């Protein structure tokens, strides 16, 4: 079964007022957790994988694992490149079989971010691969978190810039910075819904919320009502795995395959909760 793109998946979510969870999936266990739960809940299946996460397997192997497992489970699934920093990383991922990509130029100036995103969008469009971009800068909660620049308070997405950015780059989706951050929050975030409403009014494409882990349900639902069609979830998936697998292995009395089986169930439970909150059950 071939992997699918993200354009129709998020377009439907945006139009119908729900969101799709982008769940960390970079090897067989995390990918299987998402696919199995997506099939049970009849939810769209969207795997996100950053370049640093496929370091052990390489992008082509990750894409092949995702393709084979989606066929075995019987689920249409998208494999999305998360937080690519360079044009070359995008080209490598697309040539390896990724069916959607994100180019993150948030560390660059507005003009340079726009130029890089436009270059990526032009390359990807010729290959029918949709592109997510980021404007503003989604930071990180702590240095233990892999993604995101150092957290800053003045890096929110500017709605006026968003309109120009989307028009001139041709990106398909826009990741916004409205008080969200990567990692597990020490205290609940306070998302700026006024800013989000202005961004939606200034653009006409599905919006993306990074740093979903730990965001209160009421804030998530409000964000979805204002145009968020994709919410990235990584840290909660990692925590679900670690909380089961690490203690089991530390006992020294359990076969590692059994520990992974139980960790798989924990990841599925976390994914099921997110499918419920985002409203994507039955939308696959």
Number of H helices, E strands in the chain: 10, 11
For residue 152, what pLDDT is reported? 42
CA distance linking residue 268 with residue 236, whole number of Å: 11
**CATH number 3.20.20.70 is the correct assignment for the domain at 7-278:** yes
Closest CA to 100 of 133, 68, 73, 70: 133
pLDDT at 189: 74
Which pLDDT belongs to residue 181? 75
Nearest residue to 65 via CA among 115, 29, 100: 29
Cα separation of the two ends of the chain: 16
Helix (H) or strand (E) holding 272: helix 256-278
Does the active-site annotation cover 192? no
Q: Write out the two tokens for 270.
A: 């976390």
Q: Are 184 and 215 in contact (CB under 8 A)?
A: no
pTM: 0.92
- Marked catalytic residue, from 24, 82, 158, 172: 82
What does DSSP say about strands 207-209 and 149-150: parallel, antiparallel, or unpaired?
A: unpaired
Give pLDDT, residue 186. 65
Q: For residues 155 and 106, what is the distance between their CA atoms, to the nearest angstrom? A: 9
3-class secondary-structure state, position 252: coil
**pLDDT digit of tens for each residue in the chain (284 aa)?**
799 999 999 999 999 999 999 999 999 999 999 999 999 999 999 999 999 998 889 999 999 999 999 999 999 999 999 999 999 999 999 999 999 999 999 999 999 999 999 999 999 999 999 999 999 977 644 444 444 554 444 489 999 999 999 999 999 999 999 987 755 656 667 789 999 999 999 999 999 999 888 899 999 999 999 999 999 999 999 999 999 999 999 998 778 899 999 999 999 999 999 999 999 999 99
Q: 3-class SS at 241? A: helix
Contact 177, 137 (CB under 8 A): yes
Give the pair of three-digit tokens for residue 204.
């006409």
Is 157 in a helix, a strand, or coil? coil
Tell me the three state secondary structure of residue 275.
Answer: helix
Minimal CA–CA distance to 6: which of 72, 107, 77, 71?
Answer: 77
Would you list the domain boundaries of the chain?
7-278
Helix (H) or strand (E) holding 247, with range, is: helix 235-250
- What pLDDT does residue 144 have? 43
């Amino acid at each position: 079964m071939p992997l699918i793109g993200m354009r129709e998946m998020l377009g439907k979510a945006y139009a119908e007022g729900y969101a799709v969870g982008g769940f960390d999936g970079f090897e067989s266990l995390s990918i299987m957790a998402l696919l199995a739960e997506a099939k049970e809940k009849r939810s769209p299946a969207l795997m996100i994988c950053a370049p640093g996460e496929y370091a052990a397997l390489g992008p082509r192997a990750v894409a092949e694992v995702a393709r084979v497992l989606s066929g075995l489970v019987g689920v249409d699934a998208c494999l999305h490149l998360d937080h690519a920093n360079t044009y070359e990383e995008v080209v490598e991922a697309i040539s390896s079989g990724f069916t959607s990509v994100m180019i993150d130029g948030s560390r660059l100036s507005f003009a340079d971010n726009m130029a890089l995103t436009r270059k990526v969008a032009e390359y990807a469009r010729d290959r029918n691969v949709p592109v997510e971009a980021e404007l503003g800068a989604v930071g990180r909660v702590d240095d233990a978190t892999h993604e995101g620049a150092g957290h800053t308070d003045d890096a929110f997405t500017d709605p006026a810039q968003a309109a120009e950015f989307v028009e001139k780059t041709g990106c398909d989706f826009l990741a916004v910075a409205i008080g969200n951050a990567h990692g597990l929050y020490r205290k609940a975030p306070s998302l700026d819904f006024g800013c989000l409403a202005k961004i939606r009014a200034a653009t006409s494409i599905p919006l993306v919320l990074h740093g979903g882990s730990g965001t209160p349900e009421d804030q998530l639902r409000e964000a979805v009502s204002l145009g968020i069609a994709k919410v990235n979830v990584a840290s909660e998936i990692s925590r679900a795995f670690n909380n089961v697998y690490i203690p089991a292995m530390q006992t020294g009395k359990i076969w590692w395959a059994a520990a992974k089986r139980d960790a798989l169930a924990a990841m599925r439970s976390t994914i099921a909760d997110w499918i419920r909150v985002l409203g994507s059950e039955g939308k696959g």
